[in-house]
Chain A
C-alpha cells in the first residue's frame, strides 16, 4: 500500500476527513524532479484555523512563484487522526503531494499563538524527527516565524532558526542560501553559519545563555566563530505595494473560519495601544496602494469565485483613503454580487451606508473593544477612546437598526483596581440606557449586550513587558464581582473564562529557554491543542512544571525589574527599549501618547533603513 492509500484508508474513520484530503482548487502541484528545494509549511493547528491565516497564503504564494522551489501545506492532525496515524505508522505528510515531511528540505512553522506549541512537538514527532534540534542529523531544517517568534526562547531547543519580521523577502534569502549550501555538500551545521547574516535570522544554538543566582538571565552572547550578531534586527519590507501578494488562493472544500478573500490593505498600526503586541512589532505602518488593491481584488475574485472580500489590517478604519477604496470596491463588484466587509468599529456613517448595500452580514451585531472599564485605565493602556466616543457609536448603531452589541474588555491590565473592573458593569449599564433612550419606533427589538472579558497577558516588546500577570485569585474575584453585578442587568450577558489558559500563555510569552523542558514534558504527558477548551489539560501542565522544577509564576506573575535582562533582549522588533520604558512610565502616570500619524513619537523604528520616510 502506498502512503496515499494508507491515508485514504483512514478517511472514513476520522472526524472531518476534509481536513486531510488536499487537492483543493488552487493548490499548487509541481513535479518533485523539477524543483531543488522542497518546503513544508506547517500551521500548528487544525486545517480550518490554518486555512484562514493570511501569512500562510502570502508565503505559499511567494515560495511557489519560484520555479526552483515547491511549498506544500501541513496542518496539525486532530487528536483522532494523530492516534490513527500512530497506529498505522503514517508519518506527518503534506496535503499537496502527500510526501512525508521528513523528506523535505525546510520545515517552516508559523507561531501565531503560544498555545499551539505542543502541536509543534507533536508534528516533529509524527514526522519522525528528533524533537531537539541538536539531535537532528538529517531531515529538514526547522524554521519558525510569526508574532510569537519575537520571544523564541521557549522553543529554542527544538528549532534550527527563527526569522523575525516580514517574510516576503527573508524567506527567499534563506532559500537561496539553502540551495547554495546543498550544492556545496558542506556539513549540516554550516548552513546555519551561512544564514546568520540575513536580516531577521536568529539561530538560537549560536548563543550562550547564563543565569544569575536568583534565576534571572545574566547574559545572552553569541558564541565565538559563529558570526551571529549580538542584536538580531527584524526583517522589514518597506514597500508593501511592490511586495508579493497572492493573486490566486486555495479554495477549501469544507468550511473554514474565514472563507473569503482577505485583502491586507496595510501592515502595522499607528495608534500605540500599550497592551497590544501587534501594534508594536508590525511597525511602521505600510499601506498598499489603492490601485494595487483594486487590481488584486479583481484577480482574486476571478481566480477563486469567492463572494466576499474582507479588507484586513490591524485597524482598517485608519487606511488613508478608505472611503474611496470602499466606494470603488462596492461599485466594481456590485454586479458580481461580491460583498465588501471590514471591521465594524470606527466606521463613519457615510461609509456604513456605502457598505450596507452589499454587506451580507445581517444587521445584528456591532462589536466594540473599549478594553478597560474606566477612563483612567483606558488612558493607562493608551486606548484613545472616550466614553463619549463609545456612547456615540452605540447610539448610531441602535438608531441604524442594530440591536445587539458586543463589548470586549481585558481583566488584569496593569494598575487595574476593583473600581476599574466594576467600570465594565457601569459601561454596560450605560449602553443599555442608550438603547432604551432611542424611541421604540426607531430601534430594532431584541436588545442584547454581550460583555466579554479576557485575562490580560503581558507580551514582549510592549510597554507592559515588565508587568506581572494578575494572579488567578484576583482574576476570579473580579470576574465574580462583575458577574454578580451584571446578572442584575436584563439583556446583558457576561462571558469569561477560567484564568488557567491565560496564565499558561503568559509563561510562554514571557518565558526563557528553561520553558523548553516544561513544553517537552507536557507534550510527553499528552498535552495537545491546548488552545481548545475540550483538549486543554491544566492538570498535566502543572505536573510538567512540577516534574521539571520550573516555577510558572517566575515568568507569568512576577513583575520584572526595569534593569532585568529579559529573555528577548538580544532581539530587536523595531521599537526601541528606551521607547518602551518611556511608554511604561507614561502609562503609570496615565499620560496618553498620540497617534504617530500626527507626528513621530520616536518609537525607534526609524533606526531601520527606509522605514517611516
Chain B
C-alpha cells in the first residue's frame, strides 16, 4: 500500500483512520476505473476495433479487386494492347423498392433509348427482388444513372476481357469463357501466366498483321475464294510477325457457333501445298550429293509411273537442270530428282525440316502433317511436287526459313522473349545459297512462275504452288485448287519469310480464267512486300551491287525456245 501513501498528506495531522481509509479506497477506485478505461480503449483500438475499422475501409476495395487478380494483358511486339481486361458495370433492378414506376421507366428510357417501355413495365410489375436489365453499361451511362437518382437500381461491377482491335489476330489470341478462363489460342496457352496477372508480349506486329489480313482479304474477294492464310515470319529467329487465317471473326464475340470461322487455316489446317514443296525436293537433291545443278532431266514426255501419268503445266521439249526444274515448276523433273535420291533420304529430310511433326508453336490449334510413308516410287515422286503430303502453311513457312537461313533449323514462335535459337544445320550453307539463287530466279526470270511477285528493289524470291483440293471423301476436286506461295526477301540476305495460301479461287475475266498461284498469289506478294518492307526497315537495293552478286549465284534459265536468260 506504499504506493498510495502519497494521498495521506492531507490527512497526516488528522488521525481519523476511518476517514483515511474511505478516502484511500475512493482514490484507489478512481485510479482503477481510469486505468481500466484506458486499458479497454487501448486494447479495443489495438485489436478488435482495428479489425472492424479495416474491414469497413476495405469493404468496397475488396469487393472490386482483391477477390481475383486482374487477368494479364496481351501485347504485340510494340507493346500495343491486343487483349485487356476492364471493369464493366451491369444494371439490375429491385421492383420492390420502386415507388413511382412510370417515372422510373421514363428516366431509364432517357438514358437507355434501346429499352422497351412495355417490357420495362412488365419487369417492374414483377414480384421478384432482382431483375437483370442490362449486362453492360458504359461509364457515361453509369454517371447519368447516379445523377438521376433512380431508386431500386442495382449496379454491379464485373471484369470483361476485351480485344480492342476486333478481328485482328483473332485466331492467335483465341478467347475466354464467361468466367475469364482462356479457352483458345494464346489465352489458353498462357492461361496460368495470365491468371496470375502477368502480361504476355507476342511477336505479332499489329500493323503487319493488319496489312496482311487486308490484302489477303481483298485477293480472296477478287478471286471469289473460300478463304486463305498468310504468314510473315522473321527468317533469322522464327518470330511470327503476322499470322492470318480467313475467314476470321471478331475476337470480342468468340462463340463456338462460329464453327468454320474459328478454324485456324495458318496453323491447324493441313493442305497439299503443291509445287512449293519442290523447293524442298531441290534442297534434298543438292544435299544428297547424288545430283548436281548441271545434271539434266528429260521432261519432254509425260512420265508414266504405275497407273499414274505425271505431266507438266508448261511442257518443255528439252532436258533441264535443277534450277530450270524449279523455275519452270516441272513436275516431271521434280519426280525424276526424287526417284534418284529415293524415299529414305526424302523422309529423313522431311523429318529434319519438321514437316512430319506438329510445330512447337505457342497455341493449341496446331495441325499434324499427313504424309504417305509407304516408300513406293510413285509416293516419293508425288511428295516431290507436293502431293501425298499435307502440311500447314506455318510448316511451309518454317521449312522455307530453314532453307534460306543458311540451313539452320528455324522453329516458328509467337513470343518475343524466346531468344534461344537452335544452331542445328539441316542443310548446308552451300545448298542454302543455291536455293536462294533459284528462288530469286522464280520471281525475277521471265520464265519464272512468280513473275508477278517482283518488286524492284526488294529482291523477292520464292516458289508458287497450285494443287487440286482434296475431297473430304478422298480423291481430288478437278476444278478446285489450293494456291500458295512461299518465299523470302531480300533474297541476298533473307530477313523475312512470306507464306500465303488461298483456298479455291475462281478464274476471273481479268486473269483470263486462270486460277493458278502465279495469277492469284504472286500479285498479292508484290503488294504485300511493297507495303510491309518500309515498316520492317528493309531498304530497297540494287541487284548490281557487289553485296548482291556475292550472295547469290547466277544460273542460266532456258525458255521454251531454249534461249538462255539470266
Specify whether A and B are partners.
no
